Amino acid sequence: MDGAAEWRVLERALMLPPEEIFALLRDYGLRRKGGAPGLVADHWERCRGAGRAPGAAPGGRAEMSAAQSPVVVGTAIDGSDEFAQGQHTLREDSRRVLTGLLIAAHAVGAEHCYVCVEEGQDYSRLRDALGELAQDGDRRRQAWVGRLGGVQLKVMKRSLLLRDPGALLANLTHRQALPDVRYSDPALHGLDGRPTLVESAETLASVAAVLGMTFVDRNSVDASVAEGEKGLASSQEAQGRLLTVMVAGQPAQVVFLGGDCTIREAIETALGACVEVAEVQGIQLGGPFGPFLGGLQLENPLTVALVEEAGGSMGGAAMRVLLGKQCGVDLALEALRRLQLESCGKCPACYEGVRQLVGFLESVMAGVATSQEGELARVLSQHMLTASLCDVGKLAPAPFLSALVVFADHFGAHLEGTECPACVSRESA
Ligand code: SF4
């Protein structure tokens, strides 16, 4: 889609009342991406509702008091090498991200708009698109952008915690990038107490794509929009999502995850002919917080639901491919040590829990752990799921708990002091 077409989609959307935008997105069934749950329309409507003055009837933006007017925050933060969707979207879809952001602002009745990127990302295309927005264009679009005071670009230091909306909002208000109970539900109570819509760049780009396609379907926009949208996504593309695939020794790759491919096919797409898929021992789905899945599960369809259920982490689908024989205890230990570096220490359940799990896994590797300690580690994991403030603590037990199942023979061998099949084959290699 050329730039003019994207801005026309925005101009067309600005002519629609918010309720109609919600209805279009709901009819389409567009889900939020980047690890956030639920339908886009439900989330936006909730945020708009929270910004409405008490007792006011739904309608235009006039019913919102200034103090309650919502804020929209788009984020392309990746936070770590395990995720690359933000960078990919900035590179491929910057105009669509801005289009989706401004449509969101219109739909929820926002007074301010931010877009967050991280140091080290190439956001030059986003800057170019911001420049285009400021140039002459449709009067309605110019008036709307002017009213918002433009879109404020925020560049933040890289941190995995910034994938948490609360930490992102804390950082936006010049506080440390730490999860914050004040922002436990930003759509109702966010920046300065105002309803704050936090959406991933991937979601915003999809909103622009879906509305663009809807306008073409309705034959209600000019030919240039239709032309621009031709190469755009099928409905499957707008419904699908991006997946970052990592294999040791290779740069991360971002692939598009459509409706009905299997995990095996996704691996083959990402790796091409470089690696024998038969060598794949398993995968870790959902980044460093994600669970391990064993070889037999490779034939499962890699649906959006599976990614969200299995990895449903601090935003983003990521898949680490495990090649050759690797010890499951060692893999879980490596994952927990990685999470130990991320834990900010705010809640004991997370900070102390991760420390204890690391200690237990080290004992297993050293052959001195007991099965009673194993039971305690399981109980502790359940406690972490419920007592941690953010996803780091809530999801930290996933690699450990899943490794217990997927690599049961490795754990059994280490606990019983017999030969671990993975460690033996590594030593003999
Ligand atoms: S769960 Fe962990 S990372 Fe999140 S706030 Fe608590 S201590 Fe910090």
pLDDT score of 58: 46
DSSP label at residue 368: -
Indicate whether 330 belongs to any domain.
no
Residues 299 and 155 grouped into a single domain = no
Among residues 233, 249, 283, the one where a domain terminates is: 233
Token look-up 């695939």 returns 245
Q: What is the CATH number of the domain that holds 149?
A: 3.40.50.11540
Q: Of 262, 294, 324, which residue sits at a domain end?
A: 324
Strands (E), 295-387: 317-323
The pick from 80, 178, 392, 395 for probing ligand 1's pocket by mutation, whose C-beta has the most ligand atoms within 8 angstroms, reads 392
In a shared domain, residues 136 and 283: no
Domain count, the chain: 3
Give the C-alpha distances (Å, rounded to integers) separating 228 from 14, 137, 215, 232, 396: 19, 18, 12, 7, 43
Residue 398 included in any domain:
yes
Q: Residues lining ligand 1, CB < 6 A?
A: 179, 343-347, 350-351, 388-390, 392-393
- What's residue 66's pLDDT? 52
- Kindly tell me the number of DSSP H helices and DSSP E strands found in the chain: 19, 9
Same domain, 18 and 101: yes
Query: Strand (E) positions, 336-385?
Result: none
pLDDT at residue number 177: 81
Residue nearest to atom 4 of ligand 1 (CA): 390
Q: Among residues 169, 182, 192, which one has the least CA distance to residue 51?
A: 192
- Tell me how far the alpha carbon of residue 352 lies from the centroid of ligand 1, in angstroms: 10
**Residue pLDDT, tens place only, 57-91:** 444 444 555 557 899 999 999 888 878 888 989 98
Closest-lying ligand 1 atom to the alpha carbon of residue 164 = 4
Q: What pLDDT is stored for residue 232 in this prediction? A: 43
What CATH number did the domain enclosing 394 receive? 1.20.1440
| pLDDT score for 245 | 81
My answer on whether 226 and 245 are in the same domain is: no
How many angstroms does the Cα of residue 347 sit away from the middle of ligand 1? 6
Same-domain check for residues 55 and 131: yes
Q: Which of 163, 389, 394, 395 to mutate to test the pocket of ligand 1 (most atoms within 8 A of CB)?
A: 389
> 173: CA distance to ligand 1 center in Å?
19
Beta strand residue intervals within 286-341, DSSP E:
292-294, 317-323
Is residue 312 domain-shared with residue 205, that is, in the same domain?
no
298 and 219 in a common domain: no
Expressed in angstroms and rounded, the spacing between residue 11 Cα and the centre of ligand 1 is 42
- Output the pLDDT for position 296: 58
Domain assignment of residue 284, given as a range: 239-324
Considering the domain architecture, whether residues 73 and 211 belong to the same structural domain is answered as yes
Distance in Å, CA 26 to ligand 1 centroid? 34
Distance from Cα 354 to the centre of ligand 1, integer Å: 10
SS3 361: helix
**What is the maximum alpha-carbon separation in the chain?**
75
Same domain as 206, residue 65: yes
79 and 135 within one domain? yes
Pair (186, 165) in one structural domain: yes
The protein residue whose alpha carbon is closest to atom 3 in ligand 1 is 343
Residue 253, domain CATH? 3.10.20.600
The answer to whether residue 193 sits within a structural domain is yes
Residues of the chain with pLDDT under 70: 1-3, 35, 52-67, 136, 217-241, 249, 257-260, 272-278, 295-297, 303-316, 425-429
Q: Which of 217, 233, 249 is the last residue of a domain?
A: 233
Rounded to the nearest whole angstrom, what is the distance from the C-alpha of residue 112 to the centroid of ligand 1? 29
Question: Residue 269: its pLDDT value, please?
Answer: 75
Using left for φ > 0, alpha for ψ between -120 and 50, and beta otherwise, residue 192 falls in: left
